[in-house]
Amino acid sequence: MDTVLITGTTSGIGEAFAKKFVLEGYNVILVARNQEKLSLQAQKLGANKNVKYITCDLNDENAINIIEQSLKEWNLTVDILINNAGFNECGLFHETSINRELEMVQVHISSLIKLTKVLLKEMLKNNYGHIVNIGSTGSFIASPSDAVYSATKSFILSFTNALAGELQGTGVKATIICPGATNTKFAIKAGIEKTKLFGVAVMSANQVVDSVYCKLLRGKRVIIPGWYNRIMVACSKILPVSVLNKVTLWMMQ
């Protein structure tokens, strides 16, 4: 059975993906920074299952080396990589923490690139594999009061589209999943759970994973879970940026 490595697994969409892949019989490697939570999660998921975990903080420059070394020690090859780890620093750009925003760039972009490059080389040798990146509806829509977050997610969309083009005919696929408002600790930590954005068509993490799972396995390049989110993205391709900015800023209040 294939081996899946998932980052950011101790809550939210990452946790839901871990449960889903274990249920479907995959070997699963959990990656997160809280060792206590990871250990408990592995115990819950791993009864009679093949579940391993790696403790590292993707904001740490050495994180990818830790992951690579663990895989070598276990003599494991990753068939499916899910780059899920992430967080948000929400607010007007001149008021937000530059340190948190730079950490976000490190986790969302730098670590994602490094981990993808390391694991992709082995996938290409085997002519088999799947890179799955978690984007956002913010990948398509620049978000006032969420400027850096939406910019990082826009990068992930562009990167995934380009990578998918490079990988045609190799046996390796690239997919981006772009959820909208999702009821997880992510929103609470970012302080946006009471905004208008989270008052309409909010999905649970399990709903997101269940709605994208089959499309993911088929190798669809861009997956947007939820009818409301698909409408939002479609409108973003029609409406002027000035209008989108006003709507997005209103929704973030």
pLDDT in tens, 37-90: 999 999 989 765 799 999 999 999 999 999 999 999 999 999 999 999 999 888
**What's the per-residue H, E or C state across 26-54?**
CEEEEEECCHHHHHHHHHHHCCCCCEEEE
- Which of 81, 64, 68, 66 has its CA nearest to residue 26? 81
Domain spans, the chain = 3-251
The CA-to-CA distance between both ends of the chain, in Å, stands at 46
Percent of all residues in the chain with a pLDDT value above 70, rounded to a whole number: 88
Domain 3-251 matching CATH 3.40.50.720: the answer reads yes
130 CB burial (10 A radius; 0-12, 13-18, 19+)? buried
Facing residues of 80 across strands? 4, 130
Q: For residue 5, is pLDDT > 90?
A: yes
Q: For residue 193, is pLDDT > 80?
A: no
Tell me the pTM: 0.91
Query: What mean pLDDT value characterizes the chain?
Result: 90
Confidence of residue 184 (pLDDT cuts 50, 70, 90): low
Per-residue pLDDT, averaged over 171-178, amounts to: 98
26 catalytic residue (yes or no): no
Confidence of residue 180 (pLDDT cuts 50, 70, 90): confident
Least confident of 75-89, 116-130, 223-237: 223-237
Which residue out of 26, 53, 128, 149 is catalytically annotated?
149
